[in-house]
Amino acid sequence: MKNLADQMTAAAAQAFAACGYDASYAKISLSNRPDLCEYQCNGALAAAKAYRENPMNIAEKVAEKLKESPIFGKAEAVRPGFLNLDLSAGALAEALTAISESETLGSERIGEGRTILLDYGGANVAKPLHVGHLRSAIIGESLKRICRFLGFEAIGDVHLGDWGLQMGLIIEALRDEQPELPYFDEAFTGPYPAKAPFTISDLERIYPAASARAKTDEAFSARAHEATFRLQQGHPGYTALFRHIVGVSREDLKKNYDALDVHFDLWKGESDAQPYIGELLAILEEKQLTERSEGALVVPVAKESDTKEVPPCLIQKSDGAYLYATTDLATIIEREKLYHPDEYLYITDKRQAMHFEQVFRVAKKAGIVREETKLGHLGFGTMNGKDGKPFKTRSGGVMRLEYLLRDIRDAVLERMAETNLPEEEKQETAAVIGLAALKYGDLSNQATKDYVFDLERFSSFEGNTGPYILYTIVRIRSILRRLAESGTVPAQTAILPAGDAAEKALQLQLTRFAETVRAAYEEKAPHKLCQFIYELANVFNSFYRDHHILKEEDKARQSSWIGLLQLTEKELNTMIGLLGFEAPERM
Ligand code: ARG
């Protein structure tokens, strides 16, 4: 289904042509000045240059023609040559009827036949989830859902950090605690026990202690490096321990991500890429892309057009160790073999932007991906506390996700003091609203920007918040229920042309669903969905304030209004699904 701006552009193209100007000047877009008009066209100004004519003359001629088209309710030439346009109420109502009948709410399935791989989450095994991982999970999950809605085959990979020094640190700390374990017995021939010799709480105790100890205890640090190296060489006992560490961590991470309603298709990690490193080196060698720089193996990737320095991509250190970029490139080789995506999207902290720039350049230069494969990195800003510094717990430690979720649920519960839901439902509802508060609080900001985590504001039932959106959905559902109970069932009639400004504002907003989802995908910008639903909730609430649906005597009008309510509910509910949360039954 073509969006309205495109339909209007097509009509305007005919008008420009009929007046003797090239049809390409007819581009119509949403108005920058919604107080003056709904849509605008600046083509007459550009045409004036090309045709050496007065822009106002052109605009006036075109406006006259546009008035003949049924799609425009208003076509006005204004100085110095703008066209201010309104949709006609009839065209608007017709478009809405079509959207109501469309399963995708008018969205085109632009991703049909295309595969996108989303690399998000990015938690590190045995290390606690931090705020950066939280943002990656929330933003990535939303983008994945948006892609699916648009018809893409979207594959989400958590891409665990499971291949670094943290493994050696844990192995050596375990050796000190439980030296009798068979993993440390070089003569042991297996099989190793199936059950891990530690729990997640042990890991959470062992890792930070080992990491702190390595900073002062040189001998311990050397042992950890050695163990990491031997693990990477395939030491059987360490490999068995590694599997336990990853297994135990993964189970715990899954619980955390489930609580966030974030779900991955793939639970792969950096370790899965290791078998592809040999192939990577061979490709780089064969294409003669590598150089030696102070003993290290690098691939220069700077381009003449660069405005800031892009240093060479480091592939192997002089001591033989591979780096973050090496693993990411090897992972692309693996992904090409297994999934062959048309598009990649990595969602991490924006401080990793240079890393991805380097990796992408190498991948293209080396032909690891096709020339037309899209490689994208969405770098997000920091979630800060009210003090403007990266968010920490009250005691100054790393935020634990479960505590964060508990705090939000409690803040919501406080606001629900008056509600008379049964206690159990109240608790569950508070958790559902809390998740919406957290996710909306994050997603409503442009991803690249830093933002302040403000529990008070995020959990408020008023203003630009998740709970306000949920409240609006719950409200519409209860109105629809009441209407149904009173026997007022919408007949299957079309949406009627709007009778007043509030109704038209609601109708206009409802037509913008598809273009909003599309822009959110194209610009990798879930905040556009938040802007859309906030505006929709507002125009709906004003419409509902002065239209008495239940009492309306004109049955066709009443039924058209019910159709608007249903469509509003459907658009809001679909959008929150794309953002990654849901509405409770009641609140
Ligand atoms: N584990 C990394 C971190 O904590 C994020 C991984 C992102 N994905 C990737 N393919 N590099 O920063």
How many C-beta atoms lie closer than 10 Å to residue 49's C-beta? 9
Tens digit of each residue's pLDDT (9 = 90 or more) over 343-386: 999 999 999 999 999 999 999 999 999 999 999 999 999 999 88
- One domain for residues 312 and 239: no
Question: Do 275 and 225 belong to one domain?
Answer: no
For residue 326 and ligand 1, the question of a CB distance below 6 A is answered with no
**CA 326/CA 92 separation, integer angstroms:** 54
Highest mean pLDDT among 10-14, 30-34, 482-486: 10-14
Question: Rounded CA gap, 548 and 553, in Å?
Answer: 10
How many independent structural domains does the chain possess?
3
Count H helices and E strands in the chain, helices first.
Answer: 20, 13
Mean pLDDT of 554-563: 92
pLDDT at 492: 63
Tell me the best of 348, 354, 357, 378 to mutate to test the pocket of ligand 1, counting ligand atoms within 8 Å of each CB and taking the most.
Answer: 348
Asked if 243 and 273 sit in the same domain, the reply is no
Nearest atom, ligand 1, residue 270 CA: 10
Q: What is the pLDDT of residue 394?
A: 67
Is residue 512 predicted with pLDDT exceeding 90?
yes
Beta bridge partners of 568: none
Mean pLDDT of 169-182: 96
Helix (H) or strand (E) holding 325: helix 324-338
Give the residue whose CA is nearest to atom 6 of ligand 1. Answer: 122
Nearest to 118 by CA among 76, 91, 146: 146
* pLDDT score for 541: 96
pLDDT band at 122 (very low <50, low <70, confident <90, very high): very high
Average pLDDT over residues 42-64: 94
Would you say residue 27 lies in a domain?
Answer: yes
Is pLDDT of 1 > 70? Answer: no
Domain presence at residue 190: yes
Write out the two tokens for 465.
């918040």
In a domain, 555, yes or no: no
Identify whether the C-beta of residue 578 lies closer than 8 Å to the C-beta of residue 514. no
Atom of ligand 1 nearest to the CA of 355: 11
Q: How many angstroms separate the CA atoms of 358 and 312, rounded? A: 7
Q: State yes or no: pLDDT of 195 exceeds 70.
A: yes
Q: State whether the beta carbon of 335 lies less than 6 angstroms from ligand 1.
A: no
Per DSSP, which regions of 240-290 are E strands? none
Mean predicted confidence (pLDDT) in 304-312: 95
Q: What pLDDT score was predicted for residue 72?
A: 94
Do 255 and 288 fall within a single domain?
no
pLDDT-derived band at 491 (thresholds 50, 70, 90) equals low
Last residue of a domain, one of 69, 87, 105: 87
* Mean pLDDT (whole number) for 292-304: 95
Could you tell me the residue range of the domain that residue 39 belongs to? 4-87
pLDDT at 523 > cutoff 70: yes
Q: Taking 90 as the threshold, does the pLDDT of residue 233 lie above it?
A: no
Beta bridge partners of 345: 118, 376
Say if 79 falls within a structural domain: yes
How far is the centre of ligand 1, averaged over its atoms, from the C-alpha of 167 (Å)? 16
d(CA 547, CA 449): 39
pLDDT of 392 higher than 80 = no
Tell me 160's DSSP state.
B
Instruction: Name the residue of 129, 352, 359, 382 whose CB sits within 8 Å of the most ligand 1 atoms, as the mutation to test its pocket.
Output: 352
- Please tell me the predicted confidence (pLDDT) of residue 361: 98
Kindly state whether residue 470 falls inside one of the protein's structural domains: no
State yes or no: pLDDT of 57 exceeds 90: yes
159 lines ligand 1 (CB under 6 A): yes
Structure confidence at residue 393 (pLDDT): 66
pLDDT-based confidence at residue 579 (cuts at 50, 70, 90): very high
**Residue 27 is part of a domain; what is its CATH number?**
3.30.1360.70
Is the predicted pLDDT of residue 51 greater than 90, yes or no? yes
| C-alpha 183 – ligand 1 centre gap (Å) | 29
Residue 348 in contact with ligand 1 by CB distance below 6 A: yes
For residue 127, the model assigns a pLDDT of: 78
Do residues 61 and 9 share a domain?
Answer: yes
* pLDDT over 90 (residue 387): no
Q: Name the band, by pLDDT with cuts 50, 70 and 90, for residue 488.
A: confident
Asked whether 122 lines ligand 1 (CB < 6 A), one says yes
For 389, residues 6+ apart whose C-beta sits below 8 A from its C-beta are: none
Residue 495, in any domain of the structure: no
Same domain, 247 and 315: no
pLDDT digits (tens, 9 = 90+) for 74-106: 999 999 999 999 999 999 999 999 999 999 999
Residues 249 and 278 in one domain: no
Among residues 348, 375, 402, the one where a domain terminates is 375
178, part of any domain: yes
Higher pLDDT, 390 or 310: 310
Q: Which of 331, 354, 375 is the last residue of a domain?
A: 375
- In this prediction, residue 389 carries a pLDDT of 85
Ligand 1 neighbour 121 (Cβ under 6 A): no
The predicted pLDDT at position 378 comes to: 98
Q: How far is the CA of 196 from the centre of ligand 1 (A)?
A: 26
Regarding whether 275 and 362 lie in a shared domain, the answer is yes
Q: What is the pLDDT of residue 126?
A: 81
Which residue reads 């509003």 in tokens?
A: 568
Using 50, 70 and 90 to split pLDDT, how confident is the model at 436? very high
Q: Do the domain assignments include residue 55?
A: yes
Ligand 1 atom with minimal separation from the 324 CA: 11
What is the pLDDT confidence band of residue 419, given thresholds at 50, 70 and 90? confident
Q: List the one residue out of 20, 9, 13 whose CA is nearest residue 50.
A: 20
Q: At what angle do helices 513-522 and 555-579 cross, to 10 degrees?
A: 10
pLDDT, tens digit, 9 for 90 and up, residues 357-369: 999 999 999 999 9
Contact in structure between 139 and 145 (CB atoms under 8 Å): no
